[in-house]
Amino acid sequence: MKKTVCKHKQESRRLLTLVGKTTERNDSLKALFLLYEGYVDWEISALSYILSVTDCEIETTALQSEVKHCGQFTVKVTKTIDECTAGEYDLLIIPGGDPVPLLEESKITTLIQEFDKKNKWIAAICGASTLLGASSVLREREYSTSIEIEEFQAFFNPTYKSKTDVTVCENLITAEGNAYIEFAIATGKQLNLFEDREDELETVLFFKNQLRN
């Protein structure tokens, strides 16, 4: 993350600087966050921050113009799903939450399938992996999830459930909910947002509050 992307000032503390990489490629990146009622906002907060400070363009979408996340904040999205096409974006990000009300939403299924057909990155965390299964994009690809897959046998093949908390398989990035920092880092790494390994590790330490004196 090159040049200063975060300056966090606290009383009696020095200015902390997190460095990031900004390239012409990053300037052109465009990410779409798929939101829905009750989504878990903190599972995507680190990732949205990393994207924003590396000059990625961010848009949000949902089935309706406004949704309320699990913290009860109401969010007005950039555009509804009807107005979105996968070709406009480089990345689709789906936070966790209760997937059940969305499993038969054809507009969501179609959007996910469009991203997959174009080999665009799809990053899904926690329960959002269920939506990938419902959209038939998991296929024979490894995945991570916090969902009890026995409750959603129609959407998950247990053979391909990863033992790791974050899994990158082809164009899919999936993670368990509590691994939201690792999820953000893995996604940033695939998008080449870090200058080097040191920058990547420093970002992890920043989010885990381990850069203090």
Quote the pLDDT of residue 71.
86
Quote the pLDDT of residue 72.
87
Quote the pLDDT of residue 208.
84
Instruction: Categorize the per-residue pLDDT at 191 as very low, low, confident or very high, splitting at 50, 70 and 90.
Output: very high
Quote the pLDDT of residue 8.
38
pLDDT in tens, 96-109: 999 899 998 999 99
Distance CA 28, CA 206 (A): 26
Quote the pLDDT of residue 1.
56
Quote the pLDDT of residue 121.
97
Could you give the angle at the alpha carbon of 133 between the alpha carbons of 174 and 89, nearest 5°? 60
Instruction: Categorize the per-residue pLDDT at 160 as very low, low, confident or very high, splitting at 50, 70 and 90.
Output: very high
Mean pLDDT of 205-209: 85
Mean pLDDT of 122-128: 96
Q: Is the pLDDT of residue 82 over 60?
A: yes
Poorest-pLDDT segment among 69-83, 98-112, 197-211: 197-211
Q: Is the pLDDT of residue 23 over 80?
A: no
Distance CA 47, CA 171 (A): 17
pLDDT in tens, 161-184: 999 999 999 999 999 999 999 999
Instruction: Categorize the per-residue pLDDT at 32 as very low, low, confident or very high, splitting at 50, 70 and 90.
Output: very high
Quote the pLDDT of residue 27.
54
CB 19 within 8 Å of CB 54: no
Q: Is the pLDDT of residue 186 over 80?
A: yes
Which strands, in side-by-side order, build the sheet including 30-34? Answer: 79-80, 57-62, 30-34, 91-94, 121-125, 172-175, 166-169
* Per-residue CA distances from 4 to 48, 51, 53, 191, 199 (Å): 17, 14, 9, 19, 12
Mean pLDDT of 110-138: 96
| Average pLDDT in the chain | 86
Residues 6 or more apart from 33 whose CB is under 8 A from it? Answer: 44, 48, 58, 59, 60, 61, 93, 94, 95
Mean pLDDT of 45-69: 93
Quote the pLDDT of residue 183.
96
Tokens at residue 106, please? 């054809």
Quote the pLDDT of residue 15.
25
CB 171 within 8 Å of CB 122: yes
First to last CA, the chain: 22
